[in-house]
Structure 1
């Protein structure tokens, strides 16, 4: 898996071959084919592992942060972190090679927005319990936050530098939190 991840980082999905992965791993192609029937299965396993590592690291980091605004700001900055992180590699592959990514990753991890929405849901539920936000539909609000995070993380802006933590927190306080206060009792649909 380490060799497959290295090839994905260096070459992407299309340009990575089973032979290159085998050579880098120090095993034969035949050995790899006994464990993975084809390139899609091999690279899919590597993508799933990257995905699991990224979400685990992210939950660990955000679990130590207080308040939904600070958690979202941390999530945005985590998404913008070093090129070598599992999350940035996954995002790059999803954007640059979407068909190949979907084929390798499978339906379970192919959708970036659903993954991000599921990631943010428990944080929004906790924020609702603390009274920080009030949402009518937790699933809908989680998807909306996922889309905001994705946009701020990946799309350049003339008005906001997402690497400027105080400015980012200020904008989240001004725009995101009021949008998450619907004025009705929070509902955490299960």
Structure 2
């Protein structure tokens, strides 16, 4: 058996639902939500459209399931990375790096889809993952709480401070600026130490 046929056999052995979501993720990565079709996903997964509809009633349900899986993968991946870092500025810098790795990180793809196709994303994602700021706020709260316990920051209203950090991080990760190169880790840490951390220590 050739390597190609080995790969095909391994793919065929996976549950159909997983193959469909794998194919949906690949289409989302290369085409986005609007341009992805059910026929393309079915063909890529190696099943008929009729078989796809046995698992997902429509395109929104299919892509929504893929988006939820991407979202879950991102939060797990990001927590594993940030748990190894013991100070808040470095954690925020790493969070920005993860958010900017558009093709390597599942969460970066979710963020890109949310920003590029917000209406389509909302229609597919469902109420559970529509709110990017609430998701980011919930994600970062444990890190701000730990920083407060270490004495790095002093905030009275932790949820409000965490939302501010989430909004700041989203802006730095997605909106280009003229005075800080967020891909330069040293420059980014200097920026965070100068402007973000003093606000959290006040």
Short-chain TM bin: over 0.9
Structure 1 residue 29, shift from structure 2 partner: 1.2
**Mapped partners of 1:84, 1:127: distance in 2:** 28
Which residue number corresponds to residue 108 of structure 1? 128
Give 5+ residue unaligned stretches, structure 2: 1-20
Q: Are residues 1:132 and 2:162 paired?
A: no
Once the two structures are superposed, the pairs formed by residues 86-165 of structure 1 within 5 Å of their partners are 86-165=106-185
Per the normalisation by structure 1, the TM-score is 0.92
How far does residue 40 in structure 1 lie from its aligned partner after superposition?
A: 0.7
CA offset at residue 82 of structure 1? 4.5
Shift of 1:137: 1.1
1:88 CA displacement: 2.1
What is the CA distance between 1:48 and its match in structure 2? 0.2
Output one character per residue of 1:41-62: Cα deviation in whole Å (capped at 9) or x when no partner: 1000000000011111111100
The structure whose residues are more often helix, as a share, is 2
Query: What is the rounded CA distance, in whole Å, between the counterparts of 2:139 and 2:86 in structure 1?
Result: 16
Q: Contact between 2:98 and 2:105, CA under 8 Å: does it hold in 1?
A: no
Structure number with the bigger relative contact order (C-alpha 8 A, sep ≥ 6) is: 1
1:167, distance to aligned residue in structure 2 (A): 1.3
Corresponding residue number in structure 2 for 1:52:
72
Max Rg structure: 2
1:169 equivalent to 2:182? Answer: no
2: CA distance, partners of 1:170 / 1:16: 41
Superposition CA RMSD, Å? 1.1
Q: Where do residues 15-94 of structure 1 align in structure 2 (5 Å cutoff)?
A: 15-94=35-114
After TM superposition, the score normalised by the length of structure 2 is: 0.87
Structure 1 stretches of 4+ moved >4 Å? none
